Amino acid sequence: MEKTVKSNIINNPRLRNKLIFYVLMLALPFIQLCLFYVYVNFSTIYMSFFKMVERVGVLGFDMQFAFPDNFVHVWNEIIVEHAWKIGNSAKMYAIDFPIALTLQLIFSYYIYKKYPMSGFFKVILYMPALISSLVFAILFNRLMYDGYMELRSIIDFGDTSHAGDYEGFLYDDNTVFLGVMVFNIWCQFGVNILMYSGAMSGIDESIVESCHLDGCNLIQEFWYISVPLIFPTLIALTITSITGIFNNQFGLLSLYGEQLSGLSQEAVRKVNTMGFYMYLQTKRITDLREQLYGIEHTASELCAYGLCVTLVVIPIVFGVRHLLYKYGPSVD
Amino acid sequence: MKSKSKIDLIFKICVASFLVFYALTIFILLGWGLIQSFRYIDDYTYNGALSLPTKIEGFEAEFYNALKFGNYKTIMEHFYCESKVSYFTMFDSVNAVSINHGDVGVGGLLFNTLYMAVICSFAQVFITYLVAFLCAKYKFKFSAFIYGLVIFMMTVPTVGTQPATVKLLQDLNLFGRYGGMLLMRCCFGGMYFLVFYGFFEGLPDSYVEAAEIDGASQLNILLTIIIPLGIKTILTITLILFVANWNDYSMSYIYMPSIPTLALAVYELAHIGYKHSSLTGDVYKIAGTMMLAIPITLIFVLFRDKIMGDISAGGLKG
């Protein structure tokens, strides 16, 4: 059979041309894929097991097998040392995800049902995806800093002269966590709303009509018809979101910059996440000037960390997917 | 029946109220930003952030009017971002270099941003379209392999590959170069690959077969039939990626520090104040921010239906 195909390709000029065209057109994308997905992933694994050792007498470094040094470093210097950042990431995700998801589904349902001003709300909810999160973060930061201080001062004292007594919603130790969470939830409707409302618009009208004939109200229709029927979309977006638990910076870079400027030690302990920390570490290994001041982790150690997180996240992703399919809502 | 319609009404009112509140927060924030961007620094400092533009006696504003349109002009004149390449020593100190290409002004920042937003976006969409076409219409085993790989990439997450990506770019001598940025963006996969793949799966083979019978070459078929068929979708998705890339500052921040974009410059203006000694003051930070937001808002106003319609259509239907 294989022989026939081969002889066909050789003897049939049309098939041969087709194959040549196929190979030529696919060459660049395939090379790109090999480099930036296959090679990069293998390189990450390779670097996890090796460390760079300075050559004696000449400039340069050699790669030396160093298992389990990098992983020991990851455990002691990253996971144990920064366990509170991992805790913050998990805590923020546990609060952020259910609230955002619930609001996204309810708003999408409102838009799908084409209730008053749904077109206008659709545009408004898309704004955070359209305009850079950096723009919203900077404006939110300034308004919550300067504006909040003035507002609190007016409420408490009746004039703005006491404004300096307050630190601002995003900087006060007591409100910083709330401020970051509000910003994150507020900013993440955009594309997901369009996805969910798009999926809901594919629901068969006859199902919805029969639901109403059975006496269902809107909340029952939402819960027993709309959510189960868009469940595959919900699972896909949930999985994407879980993948980013330990990568998610929760907007800290946009809100405060890399130094988390203006935050007290206590405030930093409340909001700093693992995603933010590792993002900055990666940035630092690309900057020679940063290295002059010394870096906390080498590239190999960061790769080892990435490998560890991947090995943790993969079972979580598949486990959650399995549970959602098994115990998730059913249309029946 | 009566209680049912009562519940429905309460539900609608609650959700609508919440949405109105949300819309107000968006309008207040953007409106506040726009107004503040026209204020004098003295006015902002003296009258506070919640005040409207006001003339102040004895200050610069008194001589003109309450609004200072020159904030944007000042930013255009003094806005810049440092262009630098710092190869990391840890991989190979023989090649350790730190090159400062100097400061990139507004013109250069705009060029870099447009390069990323237009050329890189178009390349990414075109490559995705092409690979989806090849996988769907050329029934070779390799096509099935590529399709499987795309699904695998979407399903199995990988974390922490940035250091290896930076090392690869450095090894290829593409770190901090336009070619490197383009190559990184010439990728396929993800949601748009599936959208295009679905489109080609539903496209009858007779289109291509008829052209082949007429003696058209494969390249001709691609250029005269396949691309025109999907040109609207290609342009629409390019537009969506244009928005995403216009706003993106992490690409320049991590991978291409020598190709700074407007978004990166705005980030530095807002958070690394010492780099912009001539643009100190919240008014300039806010005006710089608005400079990033205004063009994209205008594009959205012009192409609203295209941008939003396509994403909805491309949603993973349940």
| pLDDT tens-digit readout, A174-197 | 889 999 999 999 998 888 888 899
Coil, strand or helix: which one is B132?
Answer: helix
Measured in angstroms, the CA of B113 and the nearest CA of chain A are apart by: 13
- State residue B316's pLDDT score: 34
From the list A44, A186, A200, which residue is nearest B160 (CB)?
A44
What average pLDDT does this structure show over A135-146? 88
In chain B, % helix, strand, coil (3-state, to 5) comes to 70, 5, 25
Indicate if the pLDDT at residue B242 is higher than 60: yes
Give yes or no for residue A256 having a pLDDT over 70.
yes
Can you tell me the mean pLDDT for B259-264?
A: 91
Residue type at A141 in one-letter notation: N
Domain ranges of chain B: 2-68, 77-313
Q: Is A322 a member of any domain? A: no
Is the separation of the CB atoms in A323 and A221 below 8 Å?
Answer: no
Share of chain B above pLDDT 90, in %: 30
Residue A142 belongs to what domain range?
A: 89-274
The DSSP line for A125-192 is: HHHHHHS-HHHHHHHHHHIIIIIHHHHHHHHHHSSGGGGGG---TTTSTTTHHHHHHHHHHHH--HHH
Residues of chain B in contact with residue A243, where contact means CB-CB under 8 angstroms, are 157, 159
**A252–B contact, CB cutoff 8 A:** no
* pLDDT, average across residues A162-184: 84
A60 touches chain B (CB under 8 A): yes
Q: Is B201 on the interface with A (CB under 8 A)?
A: no
Count how many pairs of residues, chain A against chain B, have C-beta atoms within 8 Å. Answer: 317
- B235: contact with A, CB 8 A cutoff: no
Mean per-residue pLDDT of chain A: 86
- The alpha carbon of residue A174 is apart from the nearest alpha carbon of chain B, in Å, by 23
Q: A221 or B173: which carries more pLDDT confidence?
A: A221
B 274-313 → A contacts, CB under 8 A: 282, 285-286, 289-290, 292-293, 296-297, 300, 304, 307-308, 311-313
Residues A37 and A137 in one domain: no
Contact A21, B140 (CB under 8 A): no
Return the H-helix or E-strand segment holding A283.
Answer: helix A274-285
Percent of chain B with pLDDT over 70: 85
Option in A39, A139, A243 nearest B168 (CB): A39
Q: What pLDDT, in 10s, does the model give residues A200-239? A: 988 999 999 998 888 889 999 999 999 999 998 898 888 8
pLDDT in tens, A122-131: 999 988 888 9
- Please tell me which of the candidates B50, B142, B318 has its beta carbon nearest to residue A150: B50
pLDDT at B183: 93
Q: Which of A259, A274, A289 is the last residue of a domain?
A: A274
Q: What is the pLDDT of residue B94?
A: 44
pLDDT in tens, B81-117: 877 765 544 444 444 555 666 788 889 999 999 999 9
Specify the pLDDT at position B304: 81
| Nearest neighbour of B163 by CB, restricted to A110, A194, A299 | A299
d(CA A103, CA A92): 17
A159 and A250 share a domain? yes
Q: Taking a C-beta distance cutoff of 8 angstroms, is the pair B104, B260 a contact?
A: yes
Judge whether A156 lies within some domain: yes
Q: What is the CATH number of the domain that holds A230?
A: 1.10.3720.10
Lowest mean pLDDT of B29-43, B250-264, B298-312, name the range.
Answer: B298-312
Q: Are residues A31 and A154 in the same domain?
A: no
Per the CB < 8 Å rule, is A138 touching B163?
A: no
Contacts with A110 from chain B: Cβ below 8 Å: 12, 15-16, 19
Residue where one domain finishes, among candidates A258, A274, A290: A274
Pick the closest to residue B81 from B100, B97, B68 (CA basis): B100
| Structure tokens, B302 | 């012009």
Q: Which of A326, A297, A325, A330 is nearest to A77 (CA)?
A: A297
Shortest distance, CA B133 to any CA of chain A (angstroms): 10
Phi, psi angles (nearest 5°) of residue A316: -65, -45
Report the distance separating Cα B183 and Cα A33, nearest Å: 10
Dist CA B227 CA B217 (whole Å): 14
Instruction: Return the closest-CA partner of residue A43 out of A311, A306, A332, A289.
Output: A306
Nearest CA in chain B to A47: B164
Residues of A in contact with B286 (CB under 8 A): 138-139, 142
Which is higher by pLDDT, A168 or A251? A251
Q: Residues of B with CB below 8 A from A168's CB?
A: none
Q: Compute the mean pLDDT over every residue in chain B, rounded to the nearest whole number.
A: 83
Please tell me whether residues A216 and A96 are part of one structural domain: yes
B10 at the A interface (CB within 8 A)?
A: no
Tens of pLDDT along A10-64?
778 778 888 999 999 999 999 999 999 999 999 999 989 988 776 776 666 678 8
Domain count within chain A:
2
Asked if A139 has any chain B CB less than 8 Å from its own CB, the reply is: yes
B chain contacts of residue A14, beta-carbon cutoff 8 Å: 212
Which of A230, A228, A180, A224 lies closest to A201, judged by CA? A230
Q: What is the residue whose two structure tokens read 């019978």?
A: B213
Same domain, A11 and A136: no
Structure tokens at B21: 């509140």
Residue A59, domain member (yes or no): no
Q: Once rounded to an integer, what is the mean pLDDT over residues B118-142?
A: 94
Q: Which CATH superfamily is domain B77-313 in?
A: MetI-like (1.10.3720.10)
Look-up of token digits 């001589």: B63
Residue A289 has pLDDT above 60, yes or no: no
For the cut 70, the answer to whether the pLDDT of residue A165 exceeds it is no
Query: Does A26 share its domain with A105?
Result: no
Tell me which residues of chain B, numbers 29 to 88, contact chain A at a CB-CB cutoff of 8 Å.
29-30, 32-33, 36, 48-50, 86-88
Taking only the tens place, the pLDDT of each residue in A297-330 is 888 888 899 899 889 888 998 899 899 888 887 6
Residue spans of beta strands (DSSP E) within chain B:
81-86, 98-104
Domain assignment of residue A239, yes or no: yes
Q: What is the mean pLDDT of residues B156-185?
A: 85
Highest mean pLDDT among A83-97, A223-237, A283-297: A83-97
Q: How far apart are CA B66 and CA B55, in angstroms?
A: 5
Q: Report whether pLDDT(B203) > 90.
A: no
248-277 in chain B: CB under 8 A from chain A: 249, 253-255, 257, 263, 266-267, 270-272
Tell me, what's the pLDDT at B59?
A: 59
Q: Quick check: B144 pLDDT over 90? A: yes
